[in-house]
Amino acid sequence: MIAIIDYQMGNLRSVQKAFERVGHAAAITADPQVLERADHIVLPGVGAFADAIAEIRRRELVEPILGAINSGKPFLGICLGLQMLFDVGYEDGVHEGLGVIPGEVRRFDVPAEYKVPHMGWNHVAQRRPAPIFKGIDDNAHFYFVHSYYVVPKDEGVIAGEASYPNPFCAAIWRDNLFATQFHPEKSQGVGLQMLKNFAEL
């Protein structure tokens, strides 16, 4: 069973529907026992880093999240769900993340002709052959909506890169942990293929 972590910040239903479209049932839950029983975990997210991490702590979800990652079961972070895995975010102050991946979350500093948030379709260059990219062409286009991006201390975790206009980390992969800055559930066919790949790990 795929469990989608419910902390009231994310397009949970659209992620659930996307998994259902590729033939995999997914439950939206904040119940630690359900998360422990699940064989795949998804941490989605839309909104502000500080609010999201505070809500995760308030709901006592930090331990279940870290436990799921450490257990070796496939784990997928989406957008804000990627950013919260890092040490620190700088949105409206300095906020401690989950500290799973060493690094930080920075705001785009781009030329005036580039709007922030970065919104819309962008190609993703595959830096490493992550299992979630199976059957997806290099430089395929995915849908992004974000003002901040992650900067891993170890560039070896980067699985995909996009540019706006400079290259930034668009996906990470470390063992059973996968996370994307883009939204697979909004990325049409390639996004559905990615979710199917994840569900079948």
> 34: how many CB neighbours lie within 10 A of its CB?
16
What local confidence, expressed as pLDDT, does residue 8 receive? 85
CA distance 199 to 41: 10
Q: Is the pLDDT of residue 108 over 90?
A: yes
What local confidence, expressed as pLDDT, does residue 47 receive? 87
183 is catalytic: yes
And the tokens for 69?
Answer: 């990652």
Catalytic site residue from 95, 118, 146, 183: 183
CA distance 65 to 62: 5
91 is catalytic: no
Catalytic site residue from 91, 104, 161, 185: 185
What local confidence, expressed as pLDDT, does residue 78 receive? 97
pTM score: 0.97
> 137: how many CB neighbours lie within 10 A of its CB?
11
What is the set of domains in the chain, with CATH numbers?
Answer: 2-94+102-199 (3.40.50.880)
Q: Is the pLDDT of residue 10 over 80?
A: no
Alpha-carbon dihedral angle through residues 124, 180, 178, 133, given to the nearest 10 degrees? -30
The mean per-residue pLDDT over the stretch 4-30 comes to 94
169 is catalytic: no
Catalytic site residue from 79, 95, 104, 161: 79
And the tokens for 62?
Answer: 């930090």
> Residue 122 corresponds to which amino acid?
N
